[in-house]
Each structure stands twice: as structure tokens, then as C-alpha cells.
Amino acid sequence: MYTDFLVIGSGIAGLTYALKVARHFPDRQVTVLTKSQEDETNTKYAQGGVAVVNDLEHDSFERHVEDTLVAGDGLCNEEIVKLVVQEGPERVREIITWGARFDRDALGQFSRGREGGHSRHRVLHHKDSTGREMERALLEAVHQQPNIQVLTHCFVVDLITQHHLGYLVTKSTPDITCFGVYVLNLQTRQIEKLLAPITLLATGGCGRVYRTTTNPAIATGDGVAMVYRAKGRIENMEFIQFHPTALYQPGKGGSTFLISEAVRGEGAILRNHAGEAFMARYDPRKELAPRDIVARAIDSEMKRTGTEYVYLDCSAIPEEHFQSHFPNIYEKCRQLNLDLRHDWIPVAPAAHYSCGGIKTDAWGRTSICRLYACGECASTGLHGANRLASNSLLEAMVFAHRCYLDSVHLIQQPFTLPDVPDWDAAGTTEPREMILITQSLKELQQVMSDYVGIVRSNTRLQRAMRRLDLLFEETEALYESTILSPQLCELRNMITVGYLIVKCAMFRKESRGLHFNTDYPEKSRIVQNIVL
Ligand code: FAD
Ligand code: SIN
């Protein structure tokens, strides 16, 4: 199969890019691949909203830039921060013209929420289901565009490069080029090749590497793992953001329900089991300090008191206001028999967002020719050591636009795709025991949660690496000998991502932003990105 523009991922990043190139080139074919249903994405679960400056009377670009830099703890690329903040409003206007609705007040002005690390109210939202609304609008626009095809249940296994033509490709090979992908069609169970002169990775996050996460099941870091295997550059994977307030549900691993930071923006207070509002002991910004600080404070309270969660007290928010602003959270609490006028919500930190990822430049270009990346799988330089809340939907839109602008030039340059061999499954047999995969996944999540969580140490990282080595070896053997399944491919990708997180964490001999190592509790004077 051939397509002009190949897009992997149907979240905000992939769909925004697909729409733009398809409208620019109505005679060219755009193909979006997604491994699950078309809307099953991290995007769909976004609650708080999009941070953007849209009221210059009360806010300014400089303030949004400053808040992003402060949250990023010295590691943001300031030029990238400026361009995202400045181009953001135009991208938001654009998605509104495509049909996305944001809440407005009685005067018709955007209603603006506030979240941790923001010095102003600037988060546009659609109640507490902003991502669902944006995903809906994008999918409706995509469905009306005749030259876009969205192929669901298509699991991308690997990028095709010179390696598949029989050449030795290493990290120092110049001009590694992407010619498309091998895809496991989950309906036919066949591996097909899909060739394209331009490929965009928009594969989202990797929260599932941890035992408890706010991310849905699709978030397995596939794009990052594929680029690493293809010898592309990966950056700053140690900066995994833990959201401070995921709903605590005992015994429930996997995806957990988020209690949006916007609830703290409306006045909710964190309390420990003694009922103490403890945040003032950790940071003068209290509940609205940047996320790394709040998550670490909660972690420290839990360890100090020997408990598995703290509480979020929402009683200061009038019930009617809560219900109209956060209808989904309200309903979830109601199902759990929590009366928010006097009951507190049990919450604990959960893996939420990957700040690092596939290294890109200001146009979304990766280190592999003809391969772009944007959205959560990319490391653009915006987030530094800790993402500012609600900056990621914004980043995805800004960079999808930039990838589109660059692709317009690239597609017009002469290029011939080589002859690419079909996938070779010779010698593989049906997997006999799924337990080999499910148990390894549990072990991986256990290791990452226990040794590579909010607080790390040299010993924990070394232990994690030894265990990952074993899991890697066993899983590679399985991969070589069995017919591929999405579960096996995801496990393999997650082990690679776990390895990248641990490796970057080992290289960072300091504590900064989301990475806290008890053996190096201070920040180093040398500020550097870790690139693998
Ligand atoms: P996604 O939306 O995750 O899409 C990834 C796509 O890639 C999916 O379609 C998936 O199927 C596909 N894919 C992955 N691997 C493969 C493969 N191997 N083959 C084929 N397809 C593949 N950010 C904010 O800015 N504001 C918020 O309020 C906010 N709230 C959040 C709340 C929750 C609960 C979560 C989980 C995240 C939140 N975030 C928020 C973060 C934000 O939602 C994500 O970073 C963003 O939506 C990522 O978009 P994306 O397009 O990069 O990836
Ligand atoms: C939230 O609503 O708390 C999530 C916001 C984000 O992750 O940016």
C-alpha cells in the first residue's frame, strides 16, 4: 500500500496534522492509522483544558512564558516556549472554527480556569471533558475530508528504514530515512507494509509502563520505542510526570480516574489523614504549586504517615458550582457515595505524562529523515523537566501546524521510494502461553512503580535496570519465535521505554523537576538534556 502522508495516531496531534495536509493537498491521500477505536486516545480523557493567553488585559505572553519556564525548572528551550505561547491563540481559534466548543461566561467571554504553576486564569475548557470535545470536533472534520482515510485497529510494529533493505544502520549512520511502516492488521492478523514519502508519529504517551496511571490502555510508548529501534534520537525520558490527584481506588491497577487540577484551581484543599492542610509546609503556592512539587509533597506525606493516599477536600466549592463545572467528576464521586459537601476524595499520584520523547527540532523534524513527531511522543523543548499543566494540548496543536508547514515543502521535493521487502514471519509459531506476556507486563509495571517512581536512588535504578535486562532478553526471544500479537509488541515497546527512562535517570546526576534522586538531591550547575 502507498499513501502520500502517513499519520500514526488519531489523537489531537495526528488529526490536526492530517486535516491540515489534506486540505492543503486535496488531490493527495492522507492515511491515519490507529491501533484501537479512532477516538481511544489520551486526548479523549483530557479534563482541565488548554492553557492559552487570550485576554491581554489580565494576562500576557510573557507571563505564560515565565510560568512555563519556572515549571520546567531550568530545562525548557526558551525559544520553543515563546513560539508555542505566541502561536497558541491562533491554533485555538482554528480548532474553534472546526467546531470545538469552549465554555463561556454570561457575557460571552471565555471562562478561564487556573491550574498548578499558572500565575493567571488562562485555561480554556469544556467543563471537565475538554479533550473529549476537541477529539469529537477533530474527528467530525476529518470525516468530512474525502482524501483522509482513518484505518482503525491497525497496530504499527516498526518504522521501515534502510535497515529493512539490508543495510547496517547505527546511531551514526547519516541520513537514516523513513519509508513507511510495517502494520499488524488486527482484523486479518497479517503484517502489511504501508509506504509513504512522509510519516508523522503522533503515538502519544507511555503511562502504562507504570502500575497506576491516568492514561488509557493505548499509552504504551510505541512511537518512542520504534524510533529508538530505528536508531533515532530520544531525549529526557526520565521526566515522567505524576499527576498529584488521581482517584485512589484500592486494588485497582491500570487506568485510574483523574480528579482534575482545575478542582484545586477552584479552591479544593489537600489534607492528610490527620485532616491537616499540609501543602503550606512544602511550598508557599500550596495546592497550586507546579505538579512535581505537589506530587512529591503528597508522596512524602504518604510515606511519613504510612498511608496509600491523602484527601482532596472540595467542601469550599459550592455544590452547584462543582456540579456545573465538573459534571463527570461529580458523577464519579456520587457513584462512590461521596458527598462533596462533607466527604473528602481519596487521591494519590499516578503516572500521567511523558515530558521527554522523540527529539525534534522547531518544525517537528526528528533525527530520521522524512519522519516527523508531535504531541506527547515528541520532545520539543517546551516542557523541560516538568510540564506546566494544560500545556500539552496546546503544544500538540502548535507542532502539528509546524510539521504541516514543513511537510508542504518536503512533499514537493523529488523522492523515489525504494523496493521494500514484505514482512518476514518465517519460522514463527502461534504463541502457546499468554501468561508469559501478562506476567512480564506485571513485573515491568511493578519494577517501574517501585524503583523508578516519584523518588529514585542509585540503588533503585540499578536494580530496575537488572530486572529490565532479564525481561528484555525473555521478551526478545518470544518476539523472534512467535507470531506477533499487539500484546507482545506493546510489552516489547514498554520494556524499551522502561529502559530509556532508567537509562536517562542514571545519566542525570542531579535532582531537577520531575526527577528526584536521593543520592543527588541538589540541582547541578550544568544544565543539560540527556539524549540517547
Ligand atoms: P494521543 O491522544 O494519546 O493519541 C495517540 C494515538 O496514537 C492513538 O490514536 C493511538 O491509538 C495511536 N497509537 C499509539 N501507538 C500506536 C501504534 N503502535 N500503532 C497505531 N497507532 C498507535 N493535557 C492538557 O493539555 N490539558 C489537560 O487538561 C489534560 N488532561 C489530561 C487528562 C488525562 C486523564 C490524561 C491521560 C492526559 C491529559 N492531558 C492533558 C495530556 C494530553 O491529553 C495528552 O498529552 C495529549 O492528548 C496527547 O495527544 P497525542 O495526540 O499526542 O496522543
Ligand atoms: C488536569 O485536568 O488536571 C490535567 C491537566 C493536564 O494534565 O495538563
Report which protein residue has its CA nearest ligand 2's atom 8: 390
- Is there an atom of ligand 1 within 6 Å of 38 CB? no
Smallest-distance ligand from the CA of 38: 1
Cell of 493: 515497546
Per-residue pLDDT of the chain (532 residues; tens, 9 = 90+): 999 999 999 999 999 999 999 999 999 999 999 999 999 999 999 999 999 999 998 999 999 999 999 999 999 999 999 999 999 999 999 999 999 999 999 999 999 999 989 999 999 999 999 999 999 999 999 999 999 999 999 999 999 999 999 999 999 999 999 999 999 999 999 999 999 999 999 999 999 999 999 999 999 999 999 999 999 999 999 999 999 999 999 877 789 999 999 999 999 999 999 999 999 999 999 999 989 999 999 999 999 999 999 999 999 999 999 999 999 999 999 999 999 999 999 999 999 999 999 999 999 999 999 999 999 999 999 999 999 999 999 999 999 999 999 999 999 999 999 999 999 888 888 888 888 899 999 999 999 999 999 999 999 999 999 999 999 999 999 999 999 999 999 999 999 999 999 999 999 999 999 999 999 999 999 999 999 9
The closest-lying atom of ligand 1 relative to the alpha carbon of residue 207 is: 36
CB-based contact 128:327 (threshold 8 Å): yes
Report which protein residue has its CA nearest ligand 1's atom 30: 46
Q: Residue 6: enclosing H or E segment and its boundaries?
A: strand 5-8
Smallest-distance ligand from the CA of 183: 1
DSSP 164-179: GGT----TT-TT-B--
3-class DSSP assignment, residue 427: coil
- Who contacts 236 (Cβ-Cβ below 8 Å, separation ≥6)? 75, 355, 356, 357, 379, 385, 504, 529, 530, 531
Question: Ligand 1 centroid vs 508 CA: distance in angstroms?
Answer: 27
Buried b (16+ CB within 10 A) or exposed e, 181-210: bbbbeeeeeebebbbbbbbbbbbbbbbbbb
Burial class for 42, CB neighbours closer than 10 Å (0-12, 13-18, 19+): buried
List, for residues 251-281, the tens digit of each pLDDT value. Answer: 777 899 999 999 999 999 999 999 999 999 9
Most informative mutation of 380, 392, 395, 489 for ligand 1 (most atoms within 8 A of CB): 392
CB-based contact 191:184 (threshold 8 Å): yes
CB-based contact 190:260 (threshold 8 Å): no
List, for residues 136-190, the tens digit of each pLDDT value. Answer: 999 999 999 999 999 999 999 999 999 999 999 999 999 999 999 999 999 999 9
Number of CB atoms found within 10 A of residue 531's CB? 14
Cell of 449: 512503580
Angle (nearest 5°) at CA 476 between 473 and 481: 130
Distance, CA of 191 to CA of 164 (rounded, Å): 14
Report which protein residue has its CA nearest ligand 1's atom 38: 46
The verdict on whether 291 is a catalytic residue reads yes
Report which protein residue has its CA nearest ligand 1's atom 28: 48
The closest-lying atom of ligand 2 relative to the alpha carbon of residue 115 is: 3
Question: Ligand 1 centroid vs 376 CA: distance in angstroms?
Answer: 6
Question: Ligand 2 centroid vs 473 CA: distance in angstroms?
Answer: 36
The closest-lying atom of ligand 2 relative to the alpha carbon of residue 261 is: 3
Distance, CA of 36 to CA of 514 (rounded, Å): 30
Question: Ligand 2 centroid vs 402 CA: distance in angstroms?
Answer: 24
Q: Residue 337: enclosing H or E segment and its boundaries?
A: none
The DSSP secondary-structure symbol of 438 reads H
- Is there an atom of ligand 1 within 6 Å of 48 CB? yes
Question: Ligand 2 centroid vs 108 CA: distance in angstroms?
Answer: 24
Q: Is the dihedral of CA 321, 324, 326, 327 positive or negative?
A: positive
Question: Ligand 2 centroid vs 280 CA: distance in angstroms?
Answer: 22
Global pTM reads 0.96
The closest-lying atom of ligand 2 relative to the alpha carbon of residue 353 is: 7
Distance, CA of 22 to CA of 138 (rounded, Å): 13
Distance, CA of 104 to CA of 433 (rounded, Å): 54
- Is there an atom of ligand 1 within 6 Å of 34 CB? yes
CB-defined site of ligand 2, < 6 Å: 47-48, 260-262, 353, 389-390, 392
Q: Is the dihedral of CA 12, 57, 80, 413 positive or negative?
A: positive
Closest CA to 373 of 221, 240, 504, 497: 221
Of the candidates 91, 112, 208, 291, the residue annotated as catalytic is 291
Burial class for 144, CB neighbours closer than 10 Å (0-12, 13-18, 19+): exposed
DSSP 49-89: -EE----TTT--HHHHHHHHHHHTTT-S-HHHHHHHHHHHH
